[in-house]
Amino acid sequence: MKNYPGLKVLFWILLLGCCWPVITAPIALVAGISFGILIGNPWAATTSTWSRRLLQASVVGLGFGMNLPELLKTGKEAFVYTAVSISFTMLAGYLLGRLFKTPQRTSTLISFGTAICGGSAIAAMAPVIKAEPEETGVALATIFTLNSIALLLFPFVGHLLGMGQRQFGLWAALAIHDTSSVVGAAAAYGGLALAIGTTVKLTRALWIMPAALVATWVTKSEGKVKIPLFIVGFIAAAAVRTLLPQFDQLWHPLNNIAKQSLVVTLFLIGIGLTREVLGRTGVKPLAQGITLWMLVSVSSGIAIMAGWIN
């Protein structure tokens, strides 16, 4: 980024503007991507760290808008088809990696990120398979690029196909990589889509632990597997809201703050998609990532529209 004070002022104006409720998730993402590609990211490391922290805090805050029994029911129903989806995606990712001749560890990270939880899954798996920083960076750039496209594309396609909110929430949760993009796309579609999408996505994200532990055992790695604590926080928030409904006048504002903080998060995520990041992605990993993503999106969409997943 050119070191012009005016550009940094513009960054702060846009960032603070995303705190205004009239600014929606798609607007924030487009603003962030436009700024990142045309100008650059003034504080790449800082925005990356804070977008991750803000996302986790926002997901916890969304729990204050959930009912725990309904949350557990949805999670239980989602368990089987998330397991099937993850197994299918990992197998397809392995075969596509061989087809496109993507470096093995990069291919594994892309497949794992697509199957479970995008950047969080890649971050958990990278030390287990002893991936080099460059391999991790390429995988993250690939997944991140597709996440940004999905956030804009999925609501449009959902409306085009006439998907109901429950259908769209399921589709977003099964076919979009990162939690942030699932939540952003679902929030743009409607309240029920947001509730379903968040719950099913977090059920999917729970597979980070067992999958990474299996990889640790298979590779005989000494890498540590991190517990995604924000999922625990989400469930705890839903439990508090369910057990103490008399404080809804507090839980409702907290939930609204969480939704708006997601808008800010999406701006920060969008601004990270710079020309440098796109340049690091590479043709082979991107080809594998796009093909795998399209395969998962089409197959899960067909299954949902046909009523096989509901």
Q: Could you write out the DSSP letters of every residue in 145-207?
A: HHHHHHHHHHHHHHHHTT--HHHHHHHHHHH-SSHHHHHHHHHHH-HHHHHHHHHHHHHHHTT
Question: What was the pLDDT predicted at 161?
Answer: 94
| Minimum mean pLDDT range among 1-10, 87-96, 146-155 | 1-10
- Band of the pLDDT at 147, cuts 50, 70, 90? confident
Query: Which whole-number Å values give the CA distances from 143 to 116, 168, 174, 298, in the listed order?
Result: 12, 21, 15, 17
Q: Which amino acid is at 42?
A: P
Question: What was the pLDDT predicted at 175?
Answer: 93
Q: Which residues contact 11 (CB under 8 A, 6 or more apart)?
A: 35, 42, 271
Residue 101: how many other CB atoms lie within 10 Å: 11
Q: How far apart, in whole angstroms, are the C-alpha atoms of residue 59 and residue 104? A: 32
Q: Could you write out the DSSP letters of every residue in 51-116?
A: HHHHHHHHHHHHGGGS-HHHHHHHHHHHHHHHHHHHHHHHHHHHHHHHHHT--HHHHHHHHHIIII
What is the per-residue pLDDT across 201-231, written as a single tens digit (0 to 9) for each?
Answer: 888 877 776 777 776 666 555 555 555 677 7
Question: What was the pLDDT predicted at 95?
Answer: 94
Radius of gyration of the chain (CA): 19
Question: What was the pLDDT predicted at 223?
Answer: 56
Residue 98: how many other CB atoms lie within 10 Å: 12
pTM exceeds 0.85, yes or no: no
Question: What was the pLDDT predicted at 5?
Answer: 67
Span 261-270, average pLDDT = 80
Question: What was the pLDDT predicted at 98?
Answer: 92
Q: How far apart, in whole angstroms, are the C-alpha atoms of residue 167 and residue 305? A: 7
- Band of the pLDDT at 96, cuts 50, 70, 90? very high
Answer with the residue of higher pLDDT: 177 or 165: 165
φ/ψ of 261, rounded to 5, equals -65, -25
Span 102-112, average pLDDT = 89
> Count of residues for the chain?
310
Whether residue 76 contacts residue 276, with contact meaning beta carbons closer than 8 Å, is answered with: no
Answer with the residue of higher pLDDT: 286 or 5: 286
What is the per-residue pLDDT across 52-85, written as a single tens digit (0 to 9) for each?
Answer: 788 778 778 878 887 778 777 776 777 787 888 8
Burial track 117-131 (b if 16+ CB lie within 10 A, e otherwise): bbbbbbbbbbbbbeb
Query: Which whole-number Å values give the CA distances from 175 to 90, 115, 170, 193, 212, in the listed order?
Result: 13, 8, 9, 14, 20
DSSP label at residue 285: H
Q: Is the pLDDT of residue 29 over 60?
A: yes
What is the per-residue pLDDT across 37-51, written as a single tens digit (0 to 9) for each?
Answer: 888 887 777 887 787
What is the average pLDDT value for the chain, to the nearest integer? 82
Report the percentage of the chain scoring pLDDT > 70.
Answer: 87
* Tokens 């940094």 sit on residue: 8
Query: Which whole-number Å values give the CA distances from 240 to 69, 169, 246, in the listed order?
Result: 12, 24, 11
Q: Is the pLDDT of residue 31 over 80?
A: yes
DSSP label at residue 309: -
Q: How far apart, in whole angstroms, are the C-alpha atoms of residue 111 and residue 236? A: 30
